[in-house]
Structure 1
């Protein structure tokens, strides 16, 4: 990095690809966060639908709420897949804290505030997820609880050691200096790069990772798919 991280700032990375149907819902949930010291970074992987135009219109309508240069839109002309666009987001992030967010999903208004407060109060924890629910596309009120989560760092370590996932990647907030030390996602992992990054942090680097029990993240379920143990649902 060629600059110092901005204290208290949360950099929220949204990797997108043809998410025109839901990206605005995602962004609206972030502009409504109680914690206002945020920057929103959308990195788009060569979408061919209206995703980019929707993001640009949303930025022009809302950037006065966050301030100049707090909504960043980076459109990649040729696809580099999830691994590449998330890593670009990491490099663009200026914040003391970095949050991930899936473009189809929604965050609770208190998500960023509660995660920042937890990390500030627990300096030994470097990666923090939250409890979450699935909601049916088109019916937010119809929700299903997550069942695969673990909460304590020891239980999370054991779960990942056996090849399971017990942290919802879209709910993750990590300290920016963790990325500075470890670097981005593994470009050889095309299918589950976020899982591999968290696995590397938890198992290989033995960092403290926990989940908080508050439901602060909502995953959109399409076609009744709530099988969170499948690799496609690591997000």
Structure 2
């Protein structure tokens, strides 16, 4: 196994037909206040203009990036689904830390800085998520703060009851956690995020959420998790 790069955050972005939202997603990673990151962009055989958008964006900015930044683009020859595409990105990640980013959402520019600082100050924690705002795609300023997340010891209790209380798109974790437990499988379609967190907890990894909203979750008719979102928001056990 190759040595991970100290201090680097590998931001893993999986994409399938999200050309409409890609530039906003990528711009907010480019604008991060945390200086040391790489972007791992995995396109899951999109049939829209996603790859073209990503390539044009990369060409626009790569000449002005510092040596701390790079973008790895990998286009899969056939669609293998979210879990498969995510695992490709996780295996390519070189950083001491790995962040997940959904291609139809975007992150606050301070997101990586806040999460890395938290892990540096809490060496016992392996993975940290954040609170977030959800917003309708056609009304981006109509934001609603999530209320289903939990904190501290409550996180383990919720997953112990079969619940879910960590937003997958917000998580940042130590690369060694992936080296230890691997990524999600395809056993629970639509709940790969739940499975990964549960697997981490079963491996005795300590997990926390930051109450600060550092992520913006877009609501639209074509989003992958649309059939799960309302259930998450209304379930009192989460």
TM value normalised by structure 2: 0.91
The separation in 2 between residues aligned to 1:184 and 1:88, in whole angstroms, is 9
* RMSD over equivalenced CA pairs, Å: 1.7
CA contact (8 A) 1:83 1:189 kept: no
Counting only pairs closer than 5 Å after superposition, residues 75-154 of structure 1 correspond to structure 2 as 75-152=75-152, 154=153
Q: Quote the Cα distance in structure 1 between the aligned partners of 2:167 and 2:134.
A: 11
Are residues 1:164 and 2:163 paired? yes
Return the alpha-carbon distance in structure 1 between the equivalents of residues 47 and 66 of structure 2.
29
Q: Are 1:38 and 1:66, in contact at CA under 8 Å, matched by a contact in 2?
A: no
Give ranges in structure 1 of 5+ residues lacking alignment.
Answer: 231-235
- 2:98, 2:156 → 1: CA distance? 21
CA gap 1:99/1:228 in 2 versus in 1, 3 angstroms: farther
In structure 2, the CA distance between the partners of 1:113 and 1:228, relative to structure 1 (3 Å rule), is: farther
Question: For 1:164, what is the secondary structure of its paired residue?
Answer: coil
C-alpha contact (below 8 Å) 2:145/2:213 kept by paired residues? no
Q: What number of residue pairs does the alignment pair up?
A: 227
For structure 2, the 5+ residue unaligned runs are 234-238
Distance 1:227 1:218 in 2: 16
Q: C-alpha distance in 1, partners of 2:158/2:62?
A: 41
SS at match of 2:40: strand
Alpha carbons 1:148, 1:228 under 8 Å: kept: no
Deviation >6 Å, runs of 4+: none
SS in 2 for 1:130: strand
**Partner SS state of residue 194, structure 1:** helix
Contact 2:11 2:99 in 1 (8 A): yes
Q: Which residue of 1 aligns with 2:216?
A: 218
